[in-house]
């Protein structure tokens, strides 16, 4: 049994890491596609619709999962609709923020997700708040530090530390360089996105407890997200010519998003929420910082700024303080349960 649990934990850990890597790759492809002139409203709708079609192509996946499940009832369906609304909104905010700033900034601000998720988990009683516990104070302080680092990244771009020298790389850069005002606006939109991601984790955890079928929930989420995003995206992009996809980076980014950004990533996160809870799922976000910085420099010719480096270091320090606090609390809970079992044994 222990070996089976270790195997499942290792598989989930690997899948979570891969999901973060694919999400960074998606942000890079999205930035390249918008550099070519693709509207992010077009990207959001087409990727949601394509992900729904991908899931519908594999009905055999759902048969074993749905055999022993009860019928879907209104409380579950209404929560999935709310989840889809939040998911559509956070994607619009996130991709608009990336268009105004960069994938590197998006990855750095995503370090706030663990802190936001921990705070919401306490509010919704998914995490315990013991003020006498050292671990609890570590998580609170770490959250405050992470927020401070994120605000520094958003408000202070700073001088360039490393700038690409290759003309080939420079040709891939955003045609109109991000001004400070666009950088700040992009950062604020990304902050709102990551807060909504934490809300998404909390609601998804509640849904999967009521209806423990990860693939079915993911399919319904994509269906409702497509329906909800359709009028928003068509109103946001009224130019009909913008909806004609070109068989280049635009189409590649949408296909990649459908298979990995929505289908794979959402399923993996749903499994993580079901098995480990929202805080565990959120703690993998900081992995994207180094990946995004390297990939953005290579593929986008993006310069590295002093504000991003200082803010990223502060965010990572806060993140690891939160992780240490959570590990300290879990160790204390294990010791308490061991003492109780010893006292109850004859």
Which residues, 6 or more positions from 186, have their beta carbon under 8 angstroms from its beta carbon?
96, 97, 98, 99, 100, 101, 102, 105, 178
Burial 187-198 (b: 16+ CB within 10 A, else e): bbbbbbbbbbbb
pTM, rounded to two decimals: 0.78
Select the more confidently predicted residue: 337 or 204. Answer: 204
Mean pLDDT of 205-210: 92
What pLDDT is attached to residue 340?
47
Structure tokens at 125: 């009683």
DSSP 166-180: -HHHHTTS-SSPPPH
The backbone torsions φ and ψ at residue 219, rounded to the nearest 5 degrees and listed phi first, read: -60, -50
Cα 90 from Cα 48, distance rounded (Å): 13
At residue 50, the pLDDT reads 93
22-64: per-residue pLDDT in tens? 988 888 888 888 888 888 899 999 999 999 998 887 655 555 5
What is the tens place of the pLDDT at every residue in 145-194? 877 776 776 677 778 777 765 444 444 444 434 456 677 888 899 999 99
257's tokens: 């998003």
- CA 39 to chain centroid, in Å, comes to 21
Residue-wise pLDDT for 152-166, tens only, equals 766 777 787 777 654
Residues 232 and 92: beta-carbon distance below 8 Å = yes
pLDDT, tens digit (0-9, with 9 covering 90-100), for 33-43? 888 888 889 99
**From CA 176, how far away is CA 156, in angstroms rounded?**
19
Highest mean pLDDT among 76-90, 158-172, 318-332: 76-90
Contacts of 271 (CB under 8 A, 6+ apart): 12, 15, 214
How high is the pLDDT of residue 228? 94
Taking all residues of the chain, what is their mean pLDDT, rounded to a whole number? 79
Read off the pLDDT of residues 254-299 as tens digits, 9 standing for 90 and up: 999 998 888 899 989 999 898 878 877 887 776 676 667 666 666 6
Q: Per-residue pLDDT for 345 more than 60?
A: no
Place of tokens 């902050």: 191
The pLDDT of residue 342 is 46
Domain locations in the chain as residue ranges? 2-61+70-344
pLDDT tens string 217-249: 888 999 999 999 999 999 988 888 889 988 888
């Amino acid at each position: 049994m222990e070996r089976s649990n270790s195997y499942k934990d290792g598989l989930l850990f690997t899948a979570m890491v891969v999901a973060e890597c694919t999400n960074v790759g998606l942000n890079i492809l999205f930035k390249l596609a918008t550099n070519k002139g693709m509207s992010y409203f077009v990207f959001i709708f087409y990727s949601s619709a394509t992900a729904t079609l991908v899931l519908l192509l594999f009905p055999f996946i759902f048969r074993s999962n749905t055999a022993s499940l009860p019928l879907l009832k209104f409380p579950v369906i209404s929560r999935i609709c709310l989840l889809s609304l939040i998911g559509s909104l956070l994607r619009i905010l996130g991709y608009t923020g990336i268009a105004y700033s960069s994938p590197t900034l998006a990855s750095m601000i995503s370090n706030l997700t663990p802190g936001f998720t921990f705070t919401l988990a306490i509010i919704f009683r998914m995490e315990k708040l013991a003020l006498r516990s050292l671990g609890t104070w570590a998580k609170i302080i770490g959250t405050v530090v992470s927020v401070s680092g994120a605000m520094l990244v958003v408000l202070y771009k700073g001088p360039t530390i490393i700038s690409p020298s290759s003309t080939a790389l420079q040709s891939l850069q955003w045609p109109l360089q991000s001004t400070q005002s666009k950088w700040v606006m992009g950062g604020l939109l990304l902050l709102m996105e990551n807060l909504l991601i934490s809300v998404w984790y909390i609601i998804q955890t509640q849904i999967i407890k009521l209806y423990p079928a990860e693939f079915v929930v993911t399919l319904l989420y994509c269906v409702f997200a497509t329906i909800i995003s359709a009028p928003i995206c068509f109103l946001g992009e009224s130019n009909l010519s913008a909806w004609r996809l070109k068989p280049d980076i635009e189409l590649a980014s949408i296909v990649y998003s459908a298979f990995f950004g929505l289908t794979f990533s959402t399923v993996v996160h749903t499994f993580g929420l079901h098995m480990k809870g929202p805080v565990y799922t959120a703690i993998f976000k900081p992995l994207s910082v180094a990946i995004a910085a390297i990939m953005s420099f290579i593929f986008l010719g993006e310069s590295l700024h002093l504000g991003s480096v200082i803010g990223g270091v502060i965010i990572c320090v806060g993140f690891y303080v939160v992780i240490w606090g959570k590990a300290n609390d879990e160790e204390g809970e294990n010791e308490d349960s061991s003492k109780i079992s010893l006292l109850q044994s004859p």
